[in-house]
Amino acid sequence: MPRPITATVHLDSMRHNLARARACVPAARVWAVVKANAYGHGLERGLRGFAEADGLALIETEGALRLRELGWTKPILLLEGIFEAADVAMLATHHINSTVHTVEQIAMLEQAGLAGPIDVHLKMNTGMNRLGFTPDAFPHAYARLRAIAAVREITLMTHFANADELEHPRLSIHEQVARFCQGARGLPGLRSLSNSGGVLHQQELQAALSNDWVRPGIMLYGGSPGGKSAQAFGLRPTMTLASEIIGIQDIVAGDTVGYGSRFVADRPMRVGVVACGYADGYPRHADQGTPVLVDGVRTELVGRVSMDMLTVDLTAIAHARVGSPVVLWGAGLPVDEVASAAGTIGYELMCAVAPRVRMLEADLTTNAGQHG
């Protein structure tokens, strides 16, 4: 029998979360973001879970080609665009949209001599200061793209730094929208502004935002971009990382647990050993008190996370035994709560699940479950 740790992907929850995104911005088309192997869920599962999306967006050029091989015929968007001139032909051949955020990328398109049309997304830097043209440089970049015969549709886009906090003191979403409107004034084309935070706060931002396309990411996977919990936003977890108790130790006050002996018992305790460690993607830096579910009962991590195991307090769970089910995050235990206790974010936990963890599928809408 294989080691008892699994990551179950809930396709029905992926569909639910996509529908939730649509409900927030019913007039917009939706790019479902599937970068980083669909946030650790698997690109093929992302395609199936988000089959009703208007397009799929990702970073990896090889992933875009894989989506075409899997049969995806709707639009695909490369969120960082192309990285070298040899990639330009791929855009036309496989009908892939490319983000353009540097003069070097514009030059690649100018020099390519493409016969077939391509669609691009011109990115504006409105304060995130990662990728994109400043508002002042944006019109010139647009004019250069418009002069390329092969460029068909130009969508105008930006990315919000603090969409989870509408009145951020250093850079509010309203300030970024104002900068976008300044740089895009008079330029024709569809607009693409909102990530998950912008989508979920669309009601509050209705007067400011005009989205023709939205680009939800973390919300599609049941994580919150901030501000409120995923559950409060009406989202469902799409991944459950689960294992079992594989050993139990009864210890007394003064005994220590784990590497470094940094956890010292202050009373008699039952300690359960779980088949999950940092080599499975669980964060090594998760500290004492990080929540865990054992047989549906909430308890907490004790001691340091090892490569293949972690230890939990079973003292108050009298019925716990070897073989008792454990949920590390997912159904019944929000990934964001675990991530917060471990000093990180839910994105990192889901993306970090290791290849040695068996991936399963569950789909309540079809009553199907299988290995994947």
Kindly list the catalytic residues.
35, 259
**How far apart are alpha carbons 108 and 81 in whole angstroms?**
11
- SS (HEC) of the chain: CCCCCEEEEEHHHHHHHHHHHHHHCCCCEEEEECHHHHHCCCHHHHHHHCCCCCEEEECCHHHHHHHHHCCCCCCEEECCCCCCHHHHHHHHHCCCEEEECCHHHHHHHHHHCCCCCEEEEEEECCCCCCCCECCCCHHHHHHHHHCCCCEEEEEEECCCCCCCCCCCCCCCHHHHHHHHHHHHCCCCCCEECCCHHHHHCCCCCCCCCCCCEECCCHHHHCCCCCCCCCCCCCCCCCEEEEEEEEEEEEECCCCEECHHHCEECCCCEEEEEECCCHHHCCCCCCCCCCEEEECCEEEEEECCCCCCCEEEECCCCCCCCCCCEEEEEECCECHHHHHHHCCCCHHHHHHCCCCCCEEEEEECCCCEEEEC
